[in-house]
Structure formats: structure tokens, C-alpha cells
Amino acid sequence: MSYEPKRADLSVPVRVNLYSDTQTRPSPAMKQAMMEAETGDEQGGSDPTVWELCDRTAALLGKQAAMFMPSGTMCNQVAVATHCRPGDEILAHQDAHIQSSEAGGPGAISGVMIRGLPGNRGIFTAETLNAAIRPLSRYSPPQTLVEVEQTANKGGGSCWKLSELREVARVAHAHGMKVHMDGARMLNAAVALGVAASDMVADCDTVWLDFTKGLGAPLGAVLAGPRDFIGEAWRWKQRLGGSMRQAGMNAAACIYALNHNIDRLAEDHRNAATLARAMSQIPGIEVETPETNLVFFDNKATGLTTSEFAARLRPLGVSISVSDTYRGRACTHLDVNAAQIDGAIAAMRQVLP
Ligand SMILES: *Cc1c(COP(=O)(O)O)cnc(C)c1O
């Protein structure tokens, strides 16, 4: 088995890239900001642009300190390693990215277990959490961390409401657990709900933002939390090889994204709503009503698997992602405009039997 990605066939250009918001390209203005960035040695503390990004993100999130990382996955792994000790148990939704899509990192790196909780659309309730908490006992793994994903990716890009986050955090903290937010698309939720980012994460001890999703930067994520936590997390960043050098060029792209690409997420949400409405009118497709920029659908009644559906769309220049045999995802982002959405709909109608 080789785990190396297949080289993409680029001979047919992708005209409408609904595969993921990770596919956004840095815009000319973002590249200009990167070119002009002041840089230094990030791991030596002398890159002023990285410090600026960390300070800006910490302020945005209302946290004491922040650190720049190469990826969101590394933010999750460093956070878990810093919060937990081997033998600990993390409580997270059973479909959480940290559980299904990070190559077993929590077990491999930190020696922790994850207990998957059920819940609609990727969101579990305070009652469900409460029921999963065991009395302290010599037999039980220490339950030290609750992880929430905002927005819940496999849940359909769904948003935890502020009240739901508060309740879950109250239960966690009452039992001496910390709360960590996988905020890969947290700003999508903040924009969709009209809640300030700092209010959204006020009850989470630690949180990170991905700059390579809807924010449109080529690389990077920022993990934020209490100063002593970030101080300790630096050892894990170093240990995992996440300390960088002239990272200011990438930090400049992230600062550009903070300045220009947050409010416009609302446009992605409008495009997703349009896409969902139009897809729901295609015979055989059932659409989950989107809350943000992810449109999940079931195409079983078309008679095609989602892989077959995706394979028929690709020669027409439309790319979608396959989640399951009959479940797919179309994702809007800053490189997809309303006209391209119309083009994708036309292509879907064309390829279906
Ligand atoms: C993309 C994603 C991650 C991982 O982020 P990378 O920057 O790709 O490593 C983690 N959690 C969720 C919910 C994601 O969507």
C-alpha cells in the first residue's frame, strides 16, 4: 500500500472547484503582501511578521497568546499533547476530524484515547457529555479534554450555537476538564451566526484557526490559549518539527486574510445556499440544508455512486468531493463565484441519467 497522493490529472482544467475550501489559491494582492513581508527566524523569535500574526489572532480570539503552525492538524496534535498525558481520554464527537482524519495522531503521538460521542450534525449536547463522564476511579482513564469542532465538518458545516458551547464547557470545567476547539472553520460560524470570534471561543481554553480554508492563505494555522499553555506547547511544536524559519512570508498571507477575507465568508454562505437550493431541484439528489459553506448531499436515488457522479463531472471541469458511497460534498469559497455555481448546476443536470 502506498499512501502517496496520486498526481492529479491537470490536463482537464478545473473550472469550478467545489472540492474543498483548501483549494483556494493566494490572490495577486496576497502574494504581493508575502513578497513585501519582513522576515526573521521564526523559531528564534526574530520574525516580526509572525509575531504580528500571533498578536492579531490572539486579540481576535480574546486569548493571551498564540503560536503559528504549519497546519491545523499540527495545532490539534500539539494541543492534545500539551493538554493530556499518556493514558488520558479525550471526549469528542464520533465524526470529529481529530478522530477520523489525523492518522491516529492522538494515539501515536500522545498515547491518548478518544471516546466518540453521538450527536446530530456533528454536535453533542451537554447531557451526552455528562453521561459519558465516569466517576473518578483507579480503573478509568483520566478524562482530561473535551474537543469541539466549529464548524462541524462531517456534520455538514454545522454551527455550534453559543449556548451549546457554553453548556458543554460548563460540564467539562465542572469535572476539571479543559475544552479545546478545532476551529478550522470557526470564522465561518462566527460570520454565519453574527457572533464575535472572541465571544464564540470565550469558554474554550484553547482554539485554533486554519488560514488555508475559507481564509484563502497558502499555508498556516494559529493556535491560541493561555500564556502558560502556549509556552509549554512550544516544546511540542519544536519536537514535531513545526518550528520554522522565515515564516513571515506565510504569516503575511495570513495577516492579509485577516484584513480582507473574513467578512466576505458571508458571500460563500450565500453561494452555498444557492447551490443547495438548485441541487435540491435535481431529481435524485437530496441536499442537507447548509448552515455555512459546506453542502452535503445524498445522490443514491440517481442510481450513481457519488464517485461515479464525481467522475462524470470532472471532464466538464467541475470538482466535488466524495464522502461516502452515496454522500458527497460541494464546498464554496473565495475562488467560486455565483456564475460558477450556475455552471456547476448545469453540469450536474447534464451528467445525470
Ligand atoms: C482541515 C481540517 C483540519 C486539519 O487542518 P489542516 O490545516 O488541513 O491540517 C482539522 N479539522 C477540521 C475540522 C478540518 O476541516
Listed as own residue / partner, the contacts of 197-201 with beta carbons closer than 8 Å and 24 or more positions apart are 197/60, 197/61, 197/62, 198/60, 198/61, 198/62, 199/62, 199/162, 200/150, 200/162, 200/165, 201/61, 201/62, 201/63
Kindly give the number of the ligand 1 atom that is closest to the alpha carbon of 151.
13
CATH class, range 28-260? alpha beta
pLDDT of residue 250: 98
Quote the CA–CA distance of 333 and 18 in Å, as a whole number.
Answer: 8
Rounded distance between C-alpha atoms, residue 65 and residue 48, angstroms: 15
Question: 153 CB under 6 A from ligand 1?
Answer: yes
Ligand 1 centre to CA of 16 (Å) is 22
Which grid cell sits at 300?
443514491
Q: What is the mean pLDDT of the chain?
A: 97
Q: How far is CA 202 from CA 141, 169, 248, 286, in A?
A: 28, 10, 28, 36
Closest residue CA from atom 1 of ligand 1 = 184
Cell (9 digits) for 59: 486579540
How far away, in angstroms, is 184 Cα from ligand 1 center? 5
Q: In degrees rounded to 5, what are phi and psi of residue 59? A: -65, -45
CB 149, CB 93: distance < 8 Å: yes
> Residue 102 C-alpha to ligand 1 middle, in angstroms?
9
**Amino acid in the structure at residue 106:** P
What are 92-142's pLDDT values in tens digits?
Answer: 999 999 999 999 999 999 999 999 999 999 999 999 999 999 999 999 999
Residue 289 has pLDDT above 90, yes or no: yes
C-alpha of residue 61 to centroid of ligand 1, in Å: 18
0.85 exceeded by pTM: yes
Q: Of how many residues is the chain composed? A: 353
Q: Is the CATH number of domain 264-351 3.90.1150.10? A: yes
- Cβ of 97 below 6 Å from ligand 1: yes
Over the stretch 213-261, which tens digit does the pLDDT of each residue have? Answer: 999 999 999 999 999 999 999 999 999 999 999 999 999 999 999 999 9
Q: Is the CB of 150 under 6 A from ligand 1?
A: no
Residue 149, ligand 1, Cβ within 6 A: yes
Give the pLDDT of residue 205.
98
Measured between alpha carbons, how far is 230 from 273 in angstroms, rounded to an integer? 38
What confidence score (pLDDT) does residue 353 get? 78
Check: CB of residue 20 under 8 Å from CB of residue 321.
yes
Site to substitute for ligand 1 among 19, 100, 148, 153, most atoms within 8 A of C-beta? 153
Q: Distance (Å, rounded) from C-alpha 276 to C-alpha 306?
A: 16
**How far does the centroid of ligand 1 lie from the alpha carbon of residue 72, in Å?**
5
pLDDT digit string (tens) for 61-88? 999 999 999 999 999 999 999 999 999 9
Instruction: Tell me the pLDDT tens digit for each residue of 158-177.
Output: 999 999 999 999 999 999 99
In short, whether 206's Cβ falls inside 6 Å of ligand 1 is no
The continuous run of DSSP H or E covering 18 comes out as: none
Asked if residue 81 has its Cβ within 6 Å of ligand 1, the reply is no
Q: What is the pLDDT of residue 305?
A: 97
Spans of all domains in the chain: 28-260, 264-351
Is the CB of 102 within 6 Å of ligand 1?
Answer: no
Cα–ligand 1 centroid distance for 137 (angstroms): 34
Where residue 10 falls among pLDDT bands split at 50, 70, 90?
Answer: confident
Q: Is the pLDDT of residue 25 over 90?
A: yes
pLDDT at 297: 98
Q: What is the pLDDT of residue 9?
A: 85
Which residue has the least CA distance to atom 6 on ligand 1? 72
Cβ of 184 closer than 6 Å to ligand 1, yes or no, is yes
**Binding site membership of 193 for ligand 1 (Cβ less than 6 Å):** no
Three-state DSSP class for residue 4: coil
